[in-house]
Amino acid sequence: MPIPTPNPAPTSLAVDLLATDGDQTLTERLASTLAAIRTTDLDGATIDAAKRSVLDWLASALAGTATAAGRILIAEGADRGPGPCAVLGVPAGRDAETAALVNGALSHVVEMDDLDRASVVHPGTVVIPAALAAAEQTGAGGRAFLTAVVVGYEAAIRVGEAVGRSHYAYWQNTATCGTFGSTAAAAHLLGLDAESLTWAFGNAGSLAAGLWQFNRDGAMTKHLHAGRAAATGLLAARLAARGFTGARAILEGPQGFFAAMSRDSHPPRVVAGLDTGLGSPACPWKIGQVSIKPHASCRHTHPAIDAALQLRADLGNLDPHALRNVHVDTYRTALDVTDTPDPRNPYQAKFSLQYTVAQALLHGRVGLHDFAPDRLADPTLRHLMAATNLAVDPLLDARYPHAWSARVRLDFANGTTRAAEVTAPKGDPENPVSTPELGAKLRDLLAATPYEGQDESILATIGGLDRRPTMRGFLPTVT
């Protein structure tokens, strides 16, 4: 029985953009560009950016091992078949897909992994575990691994930039667009040519998924999204290396990724600037624009957290009972994801603007250890949460996703008001986390884990990553 041809939504731009450069599809153009990248194409700044991303990813993954979800993931990994790839928390090596699955999921548990604003993708949690597993499988060294990370970030972010805002209403971009990143990263280490990478994209795109429904329950599904996307990309690349074919227009075809999963996609963004050369001033590497998270909550809460922290610093000791109202103005997507006025568990609190702003105002921090159950029950915190009102500001909404902004206003019982607005929260390229701050984040995330005290050795290892002859033995072990 033939597959029926659907009638695409008239607002979709994905429908008839199959041939964009001679006979090449957009998917093929992306694949041919990425397949041609060599380690010598990366300058020192880009290699350093990749090292920072790996450090940030590893810190998040190690922290994830000490959580309830992490222990379940590690137990699953321990039950899988043996292989050459390291899995955090599992004493012996496992097969490559298991390593990508578990290490990827672990790194998404504590909500401290990196984020790209324009694509709304957490690239590290998907790309790096796939690249690491492929590097261990092939015996590749550190420079090749770092190049694969850069290639993977490029693919994930470009697809995320093109998919449009409507996609995010139902699909987590990290799980869907990130699958193209893990595919590209693994493909680089497996030596796929342009045709094979196109096939790998075709199969990865058919399997890309990740729905937001879990957020209503505070369930663990989001962690699985990252791990599954990492493993799927690795599988697609491995199969393509054996000659397993896939769709050549999976991104922009009439029954492809954009047509099925978006109402406002912009397919040409997938290849924007590629004719000027990746890494040129006109087309800088995407990895250089990724944000690093200083707060242990959904990135959509960070602009408001920073505004609240600024107000607290300006006011000194803040008496919460002197406040009549707290107003948070921000962009629509932030409210869609983080308007959680009554969080009942730590995970829901990480997706609550009301909780995170109150925590910032009261205690001056929103760290990994500030989501304990006793904090959620704190009556003073609950009082402040109840006084917090959220609204969409049309100007701030128009800036999204290229700028994630928020304004916090405090109304005091004596009739006075104070306000602060943040347009580039800490960790954005315009307001970066410094190297010492990144080291402090690593130490904080290692606290109360089996890896506590290993921060200096981890920093030294990643500092020399580009000179490492093999990625086998890279992950720290429990001593």
pTM of the predicted protein model: 0.92
The answer to whether residues 438 and 55 touch, using CB atoms and an 8 Å cutoff, is yes
Of how many residues is the chain composed?
Answer: 479
User: Cα separation of 23 and 98, whole Å?
Assistant: 37
Where are the domain boundaries for CATH 3.30.1330.120 in the chain? 299-422
Q: Among 359, 347, 363, 369, which Cα is nearest to 441's?
A: 369
Strand ranges, E, within 373-434? 388-392, 406-412, 417-422
The torsion angle over the Cα atoms of residues 262, 339, 287 and 220, rounded to 10 degrees, is: -90
- Predicted confidence (pLDDT) per residue in 178-229, tens digit: 999 999 999 999 999 999 999 999 999 999 999 999 988 889 999 999 999 9
Give domain 299-422's CATH architecture. Answer: 2-Layer Sandwich (3.30)
For residue 211, what are the β-bridge partners? 171
Could you report the per-residue pLDDT of 154-184, keeping only the tens digit for each?
Answer: 999 999 999 999 999 999 999 999 999 999 9
Tokens of 278: 């990746």
> Using one digit for the tens of pLDDT, what is the confidence trace for 69-85?
999 999 999 999 999 99
Chain segment 103-132, per-residue pLDDT in tens: 999 999 999 999 999 999 999 999 999 999
Q: What Å distances lie between residue 94 and 3, 147, 267, 454, 469, CA to CA?
A: 39, 24, 38, 23, 21
Q: Where in the chain is the domain with CATH 1.10.4100.10?
A: 26-289
| Other CB atoms within 10 Å distance of the CB of residue 115 | 25
132: number of Cβ within 10 Å = 33
- Asked if residue 299 lies in contact with residue 118, where contact means CB atoms within 8 angstroms, the answer is no
Of 2.60.120.330, 1.10.4100.10, 3.20.20.80, 2.60.40.1120, the CATH number of 26-289 is 1.10.4100.10
> Using an 8 Å Cβ cutoff, are 14 and 268 in contact?
no
With CA atoms as reference, report the closest residue to 458 among 56, 124, 50: 56
Our CA dihedral for 343, 345, 351, 357, rounded to 10 degrees, sits at 60
Residues of the chain with pLDDT under 50: 1-21
What's the chain's average pLDDT? 93
Residue 379 burial (C-beta neighbours within 10 Å; 0-12, 13-18, 19+): exposed
Q: What's the confidence (pLDDT) of residue 199?
A: 98
What token pair was written down for 94?
């496992």
Q: Give the residues across from 49 on adjacent strands.
A: none
